[in-house]
Amino acid sequence: MAKIPKKRAQALDKVDRQKRYTLSDAAKLVKEVAYAKFDESVDLAVRLGVNPKHADQMVRGALVLPHGTGKTIRVLVFAKGEKEREALDAGADFAGADELVAKVQGGFMDFDRVIATPDMMGAVGKLGRVLGPRGLMPNPKVGTVTFDVGNAVKEAKAGKVEYRVDRAGVVHCRVGRLSFDQQKLSENAAALVAELVARKPPTAKGVYVRSITLSSTMGPGVRVDTSIAYGTAQEES
C-alpha cells in the first residue's frame, strides 16, 4: 500500500469526511488545507441525479462567474470581414477565417477558448478531430457559435466557464484559484450551483443534487451540504 505523503496526510486530518460544510466554510477550509507551492485551481464537483445516456437528461451550458476564474483566457475566433474586426476590437487574441483554420490544422493550439460565427462552421467542422477531444469545439448551446462575437469574446475574457455532466452524472468546473478570498470562492461556487439547479431537466426524477465537493488541485475534497443548492436557487430567483 502506497504511503500517503506527510503534507497530504496533515491536510486530510483537518477535513471531517462525515461533515457537510456550508459553502463559505468549505471555501475557507479548502484554503486552509492547501499545501502546494503554486496558486492551485479550485474546482467544484456536483453529482446530479440524471442519466446522461438519455439526451433529455443532458445538463450542459455556460455562465460568467461573478469573480471570473483567475485565469487569463486566450480566445480564438473564426470569423471574417466585419465580424473578424469586431472580435479583435473586443479583445480576441486571434481572429480569422480560412487561413486560421489552416493554421490550427497545422498544429497551432495556443488558445483556451474558440468562438465561431455560424457561417464559418462549415470550415470549422474540419477541425472536429482536433478541437473536439480538447473540449474546444464551438457549440451554440454554450454560446460559442454566434454572430455576436464581440459580446462572446468579452464574456470569455471575463471568466465565462462551460460545464457538462459526464458519464457518471458529475459536473466538474473551475470556480477560481486559491489566491481568491473566501467570499469570492463561495460566491462563484454558489453561482454555479444555482445555474445547475436552474438547468434541471424536467425528466430528472428523485434527488437532483446528490453531492457537492469543493477542492483545490492538490488538496483533499471538502463535502458541502447539498441543501445549499436549493437555498442558492431561491436566493437567485
Residue spans of the domains in the chain: they are 17-69+160-236, 75-158
Look-up: residue for cell 470569423?
79
Residues in Cβ contact with 13 at an 8 Å cutoff, skipping those fewer than 6 apart: none
Asked whether the beta carbons of 216 and 42 are under 8 A apart, the reply is yes
Domain range 17-69+160-236, its CATH number among 3.90.1150.10, 3.40.50.150, 3.30.190.20, 3.40.190.80: 3.30.190.20
pLDDT at 237: 32
pLDDT at 233: 39
Three-state secondary structure call for residue 229 = helix
pLDDT at 231: 65
pLDDT at 167: 92
pLDDT at 234: 37
- Report how far residue 169's alpha carbon sits from residue 164's, in angstroms, rounded to the nearest whole number: 9
pLDDT at 117: 97
Domain range 75-158, its CATH number among 3.40.50.720, 3.40.50.790, 3.40.190.170, 2.60.200.20: 3.40.50.790
How does pLDDT run along the chain (237 residues), one tens digit per residue? 567 778 888 888 888 889 999 999 999 999 999 988 999 999 999 999 999 999 999 999 999 999 999 988 999 999 999 999 999 999 999 999 999 999 999 999 999 999 999 999 999 999 999 999 998 999 998 899 999 999 999 999 998 999 999 999 999 999 999 999 999 999 999 999 999 999 999 999 899 999 999 999 999 999 999 998 876 433 333
- Report how far residue 237's alpha carbon sits from residue 233's, in angstroms, rounded to the nearest whole number: 6
Alpha-helix runs per DSSP H in 14-148: 23-33, 82-89, 98-105, 121-124, 128-131
